[in-house]
Amino acid sequence: MRTYDNPVISGFHPDPSVCRVGEDHYLVCSSFEYFPGVPIFHSRDLVHWRQIGNVLDRPSQLGLPPDAPASGGVYAPTLRHHDGLFYMITTNVSARGNFLVTAERPEGPWSDPVRIDVPGIDPDLAWDDDGNCWCTTSGNQVSRIDPLTGAVLEGPIPVWSGTGGKYPEAPHLFHIGEWWYLLMSEGGTERAHAVSIARARSPRGPYEPGPANPILTHRGTDRPIQSTGHADLVQAADGTWWMVLLGTRPRGHTPEFHVLGRETFLTPVRWVDGWPVAGPVEERHAAPAAWHPLPAESSRDDFDGAVLAPQWISPRGRPDGSWSLAERPGRLTLHATGPTLDRPGHTFIGRRQQHHDCRIAAHLDPTGARAGLSVRLDEAHHYDLEVHDGQASVIARIGPLRRCVAGHPVPPGPLTLEIRVRTADVPPPTVTRPGEVDRERTGVGGHGPDTLAFSVHTGDERVLLAELDGRYLSTEVATGFTGRVIGMYVTEGSAAFDWFDYEGTA
């Protein structure tokens, strides 16, 4: 039997919403304070996904204030296709509230935003047979809107409060046969997260709760996938039904830490007596019929293209003048815009950490700059491997504490920086010449979820500067809705990155 492994989109990719057009599926996720916003993926089989762009790729569409807090910005989106047009509706909690954009092609270009003045977050769109557009938001409030002008024509009508869990949210309304099904989540996005359902003959209600709510939850279990919820439904071209949802994979000693953010999982759905039944979500399931593997993508970006690949993101924006692929062709040149990674406004271009075990390396010319690689949860939680003035340093920022934990002289000119992330039970790497690693001081060897090892290559030599406990770059410590992002930065002068390599192991 052919199987697939969960998550189907790993790393910080929460709040998935999916739609199908013919044989093609498209999926979007939340992006919070990062630019560009709302990554969009394509798949033929719901298992293998390729990012084809970002829906909100113009600063004017995104409207992120420069001081938007971490985990502010763009919350859960819904993606739908209706009458030849793609619709993506979401909430910018830091600026404009609920809005939608449309496109003829999922790759874009997407329109300018149309504001929808409905209360709540997690907006959903559904159409009835008369062409009315129904927008449902958290608290399960249903409004009839004009999606082209944003006018609210009726409502909001509060239709169902769920089964009693906190935060009834993530509603999605589906017209299936004679029924309108309201799929929603409750219990909060943490370990008690659950998916429940109700149905009615009309979007306005009255709604009858499902007989087996919650229809999916992992609360109180020792399953490796936790916090399952915020789900969306899709029917594949062969008639089978599937659910995409978010979940986490905590690691380490109690209370356990998740470091990759909330990820996107896929699970089959059965219909029993007119109600969908889903879960539990396994690490491995029988695959959908339309098996369609993708060609392997290179893990290395040589910065040879004219545009940045869609996985590269920056906190709050990427101002013109702060970066260039043209200035030194074949290199990504970064110019400092802020003096510290500890506050918004700095120059950082990174990608999501998508594997518990991975190796990240970058080759840069730091001459005259203060630049390096950083693993970040937010401005108050990051580990940096930095080069400045003939010295490579490892800096840990954990909440209010900032400390340089290691330093090593480096010769002038280009060099390679390397970060290895390993789940905690994997033995440390062997190095050509160990630097000074003070395990007591850095906390490695405890019960954290993983270990981050920071090295610098000069010529043939690799010098390990420090190993740090990964728990301080987890959501349980930092709080919030995002996950680890690893990237290149400069906080003084300008630095040119020749390549960036991300290699994940299962």
Closest residue to ligand 6LW, judged by C-beta, is 189
Q: Least Å distance between CB 138 and ligand 6LW?
A: 7
Q: Which of 12, 26, 481, 502 binds ligand 6LW (CB under 6 A)?
A: 481
The DSSP-derived string for 222-268 is: --SSEEEEEEEEEE-TTS-EEEEEEEE--BSSTT-B--S-SEEEEEE
Distances, alpha carbon 342 to alpha carbons 159, 313, 381, 383, in Å: 44, 17, 8, 11
Give CA–CA dist 218/205, Å, rounded. 29
DSSP assigned state of 11: S
Task: Tell me the per-residue interface mask from 28 to 57 with ligand 6LW, x by CB under 6 A, - otherwise.
Answer: --x---------------------------
Q: Which two tokens stand for residue 183?
A: 């799929």
Residue 248 engages ligand 6LW in binding (rule: CB under 6 A): no
Whether 297 sits among the annotated catalytic residues: the reply is no
Is 90 a residue that touches ligand 6LW (CB under 6 A)? no
15 is catalytic: yes
Measured between alpha carbons, how far is 483 from 481 in angstroms, rounded to an integer? 7
Total chain residues near ligand 6LW (CB under 6 A): 14
CA separation for the pair 348, 33 (Å, rounded): 13
In the bound state with ligand 6LW, the residue whose beta carbon lies nearer, of 442 and 475, is 475
What whole-number distance in Å separates Cα of residue 126 and Cα of residue 111? 19
Q: Which residues pair with 377 in a beta bridge?
A: none
Residues 154-213 touching ligand 6LW, rule: CB under 6 A, are 169-170, 189
The single residue among 121, 308, 431, 477 that binds ligand 6LW, judged by CB under 6 A, is 121
Residue of 12, 34, 41, 75 that binds ligand 6LW (CB under 6 A): 75
Give yes or no for a contact between 46 and 23, defined as CB atoms under 8 angstroms apart. no
**Residue 378 contacts ligand 6LW per CB under 6 A:** no
Contact 94, 35 (CB under 8 A): no
CB atoms inside a 10 Å sphere around CB 178: 8
Least distance in angstroms from the C-beta of 103 to ligand 6LW: 22
Of 174 and 500, nearer to ligand 6LW (C-beta) is 174
Q: How far is the CB of 246 from ligand 6LW (least distance, A)?
A: 6
Cβ nearer to ligand 6LW, comparing 165 with 448: 165
Residues that bind ligand 6LW (CB under 6 A): 14-15, 30, 75-76, 121-122, 169-170, 189, 229-230, 246, 481
- Catalytic machinery residues: 15, 169
